């Protein structure tokens, strides 16, 4: 179950979202665009001002506020350079963080306590995985390209192989992302996406006038189910339908900010 949390921080009246799935060992939140002071077209609380270097100052201020809300420290803030790849950074020690400055990553798996991992989105699917027994965190950015490469299953395999996690102990949360009504693709993309599933694709793909509508959140959920992660809490909100609350690459015609998914294993 997802719910909104209102927070007054300084002059900001912000709105965050949280899932009820995780125990207190993992702190997490999803930011929204509501309640900040960043001007248009990034109005009003972007966690990334990618493509708008003139708003860098706002980006840093907003990141600090979001980390404060989470209960973390900005000196321990980890944010990969996302490029729609299926590359996942394995971070076992603070020295491993430097790799994020060298190449792009669209996923992070870590056992570091007290470090806030942040990833940013505008329609793409945010996926958070946590093994409560081993205390291993994974954050994934699954746009259609990452979803076509089955990046969530790759993250689960890394949790198993590098951190000895057990699938039964992994819980997943899928944040707000574009819905099936709003996300239309051609048959080539639809077939690439459909090939990621071993079993049926019911209710994920709808054909309409030669185009396909794809529910990317449901597809990521099904990918997780197929690899053996059963508990998946999926946010009902669509970033494009609810464009007043979330950033949407499609609804904002590519000129937009990014909301964030932040998570930290408690110290």
Task: Please identify, using beta-carbon distances, which residue of 110 and 240 lies nearer to Zn ion.
Answer: 240
Q: Which of 97, 165, 235, 238 binds Zn ion (CB under 5 A)?
A: 238
Residue 241 engages Zn ion in binding (rule: CB under 5 A): yes
**β partners of residue 136:** 131
SS3 content of the chain, % helix, strand, coil (to 5): 25, 30, 45
- CB neighbour list of residue 52: distance below 8 Å, 6 or more residues apart: 41, 42, 257
Q: Which stretch binds Zn ion (CB under 5 A): 62-70, 72-80, 102-110, 230-238?
A: 230-238
The helix/strand/coil state of 264 is strand
Q: Taking CB under 5 A as the rule, does residue 206 contact Zn ion?
A: no
- Minimal distance in Å, beta carbon 240 to Zn ion? 4
Q: By rule CB under 5 A, what string of x and - marks binding of each residue 62-81 to Zn ion?
A: --------------------
Residues of 126-153 as b/e, b for ≥16 C-beta within 10 angstroms?
bbbbbbeeeebbbbbbbbbbbbbbbbbb
Whichever of 163 and 183 has its CB closer to Zn ion, that residue is 183
Q: Tell me the closest approach of the beta carbon of residue 235 to Zn ion, in angstroms.
A: 12
Within 13 Å of residue 146, how many CA atoms lie on the same side as its CB? Answer: 30
CA distance 6 to 218: 27
Binding segment (CB under 5 A) for Zn ion, from list 32-40, 41-49, 142-150, 174-182: 174-182
Q: Which stretch binds Zn ion (CB under 5 A): 9-17, 84-92, 165-173, 176-184?
A: 176-184
Q: Which is nearer to Zn ion, 81 or 181 (CB)?
A: 181
Minimum CB–partner distance for residue 158 and Zn ion (Å): 31
Decide whether 176 or 238 has the Cβ nearer to Zn ion: 238
| Burial profile 85-106: b = 16 or more Cβ within 10 angstroms, e = fewer | bbbbbbbeeeeebeebeeeebb
218: contact with Zn ion by CB under 5 A? no
Give the interface with Zn ion as residue ranges (CB under 5 A): 179, 181-182, 238, 240-241
């Amino acid at each position: 179950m997802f719910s909104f949390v209102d927070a007054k921080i300084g002059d900001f009246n912000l709105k965050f979202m949280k899932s009820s799935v995780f125990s207190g060992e993992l702190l997490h939140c999803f930011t929204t665009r509501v309640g900040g002071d960043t001007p248009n077209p990034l109005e009003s609380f972007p966690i990334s001002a990618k493509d708008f270097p003139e708003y860098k100052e706002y980006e840093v201020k907003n990141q600090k506020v979001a980390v404060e809300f989470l209960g973390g420290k900005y000196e321990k803030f980890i944010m990969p350079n996302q490029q729609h790849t299926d590359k996942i950074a394995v971070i076992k020690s603070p020295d491993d963080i430097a790799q994020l400055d060298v190449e792009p990553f669209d996923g992070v798996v870590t056992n570091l306590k007290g470090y806030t991992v942040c990833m940013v989105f505008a329609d793409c699917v945010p996926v958070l995985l946590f093994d409560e027994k081993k205390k291993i965190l994974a954050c994934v950015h699954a746009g259609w390209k990452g979803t076509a490469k089955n990046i969530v299953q790759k993250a689960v395999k890394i949790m198993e192989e590098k951190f000895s996690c057990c699938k039964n102990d992994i819980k997943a949360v899928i944040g707000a992302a574009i819905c099936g009504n709003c996300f239309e693709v051609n048959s080539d993309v639809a077939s690439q996406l459909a090939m990621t599933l071993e079993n049926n694709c019911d209710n994920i793909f709808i054909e309409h006038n030669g185009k396909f509508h794809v529910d990317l959140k449901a597809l990521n959920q099904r990918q997780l189910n197929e690899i053996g992660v059963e508990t998946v809490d999926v946010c009902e909100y669509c970033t494009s339908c609810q464009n007043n609350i979330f950033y949407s690459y499609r609804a904002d015609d590519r000129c937009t900010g990014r909301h964030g998914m932040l998570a930290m294993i408690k110290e």
